[in-house]
Amino acid sequence: MAQLNFGGTVENVVTREEFPLSKAQEVLKNETVAVIGYGVQGPGQALNQKDNGINVIVGQRKNSKSWDKAVADGFVPGETLFEIEEALERGTIICYLLSDAAQIALWPTVKKHLTPGKALYFSHGFGITFNEQTGIIPPADVDVFLVAPKGSGTSLRRMFLQGRGLNSSFAIFQDATGKAQERVIALGIAVGSGYLFETNFKKEVYSDLTGERGTLMGAIQGIFAAQYEVLRSKGHSPSEAFNETVEELTQSLMPLVAENGMDWMYANCSTTAQRGALDWWKKFKTATQPVFEELYNSVATGQESQRSIDLNSQDDYRVKLEAELAELRDSEMWQAGKTVRSLRPENQNVD
Ligand SMILES: NC(=O)C1=CN([C@@H]2O[C@H](COP(=O)(O)OP(=O)(O)OC[C@H]3O[C@@H](n4cnc5c(N)ncnc54)[C@H](O)[C@@H]3O)[C@@H](O)[C@H]2O)C=CC1
Ligand SMILES: CC(=O)[C@](C)(O)C(=O)O
Ligand SMILES: [Mg+2]
Ligand SMILES: [Mg+2]
């Protein structure tokens, strides 16, 4: 493993140079990788592995949209696509990619098929870390590890097709065969990771739940909504408020941050903007830090996982979820965004 310096701290990292695809194929050549669940991560990971020459099968409930999607994606019923139990039976490595709440209900079935020497693979530390809530306690004679792509399964697939790679973390919870390390890294490369950084199950789930509730998804929407509402209340038009809150960020400024960091983005803006941003960022930090403390605490005490299990296990959770998503979609800000997106030249049919 390469040792790399991340801002002063040296960490273990696996690169594709050090662990090329050919090595992953060699490690996995006698394995059948069974991807259980074909929602968001399932397709990304299964298709990337398929294209990477890994012996991968999919386990999914028949008569479901996801089953039809797997067929449309090229998985063949009876050959590479099976009912969940049959895939569990056939797989030597079980990639458990049902939603975290659904993993609880299916666990007794999965456990039955975890015969000695098999491996149980997750893309989240959730089920194992919060095992008092999930009941997921694997037998001692199987390997248990995770590869957690740091982004949507949709991006994992798209970036793979573009010849890029989403980075993932990896962790080993249990090494029963002595081969857990090479198995998990081979899988990480096979699913299309750009590189892999080391963590453990608990750290993966604590940071992931914090990140998605925080800056990646929850906090960002909150900050957008707050600024948009202030601009609107002061008489700015929806298009102006949306452009100054969201569009400029996603289209112009964040790509610069992604490319070369925050200071470089600042350096490419006016001195007026730089002065203001440098004056104000610490105030925003001070204002939000207590909320992030509260959030991390809610994750660490198991409140967030319990809430997610409780709400996502209800029969009508999809209906309720759709109503909450529609509330966002139908808000003035995101409706204004719809029009703004339609006006991007690349979205217009003009010569
Ligand atoms: N969505 C993403 O891009 C990411 C997900 N993860 C992790 O990957 C894992 C899978 O997540 P997603 O792909 O988002 O899952 P998902 O919510 O898309 O669901 C996956 C599959 O579970 C099936 N399913 C749901 N309930 C079921 C049940 N009771 N019995 C049988 N099948 C059932 C659905 O048909 C679907 O095909 C989770 O551990 C998640 O935390 C990690 C990184 C990103
Ligand atoms: C995409 C991702 O990594 C998330 C936000 O953590 C998730 O979908 O759970
Ligand atoms: Mg994540
Ligand atoms: Mg997550």
ipTM comes to: 0.96
Q: Output the residue whose Cα is nearest ligand 1's atom 44.
A: 152
Residue 351: the pLDDT is 62
In this structure, the number of other CB atoms found within 10 A of the CB of residue 30 comes to 8
- pLDDT by residue for the chain (351 residues), tens only, comes to 899 999 999 999 999 999 999 999 999 999 999 999 999 999 999 999 999 999 999 999 999 999 999 999 999 999 999 999 999 999 999 999 999 999 999 999 999 999 999 999 999 999 999 999 999 999 999 999 999 999 999 999 999 999 999 999 999 999 999 999 999 999 999 999 999 999 999 999 999 999 999 999 999 999 999 999 999 999 999 999 999 999 999 999 999 999 999 999 999 999 999 999 999 999 999 999 999 999 999 999 999 999 999 999 999 999 999 999 999 999 999 999 999 999 999 998 766
Cα separation of 226 and 219, whole Å?
A: 10
Say which ligand is closest to the CA of 148: 1
DSSP, residue by residue, 212-246: HHTTTTHHHHHHHHHHHHHHHHTT--HHHHHIIII
Amino acid in the structure at residue 70? A
Work out the number of other CB atoms within 10 angstroms of the CB of residue 36: 26
Instruction: Say if pTM beats, i.e. exceeds, 0.95.
Output: yes
Determine which one of 124, 150, 183, 213 is catalytic: 124
Structure tokens at 17: 């140079």
**Are 85 and 62 within 8 A, CB to CB?**
no
Ligand 1 atom 22: residue of nearest CA: 98
Q: Around Cβ 334, how many Cβ atoms within 10 Å?
A: 19
- Ligand 4: centre distance to CA 181 (Å): 23
CB of 208 closer than 6 angstroms to any ligand 2 atom? yes
Tell me if 154 CB under 6 Å of ligand 2. no
Ligand 1 centroid distance, CA of 347 (Å) = 31
Structure confidence by residue, pLDDT tens digits, 148-205: 999 999 999 999 999 999 999 999 999 999 999 999 999 999 999 999 999 999 999 9
Is residue 124 part of the annotated active site? The answer reads yes
DSSP assignment letter at 77: B
| Euclidean distance between CA atoms 98 and 121, whole angstroms | 12
Dist. CA 98 → ligand 1 center (Å): 4
In angstroms, the CA 165 to CA 263 distance is: 25
DSSP tally for the chain: helices H, then strands E: 19, 10
Is residue 175 annotated as involved in ligand binding? no
CA angle 173, 144, 90 (to 5 degrees): 180
Which residue has the CA at smallest separation from atom 28 of ligand 1? 102
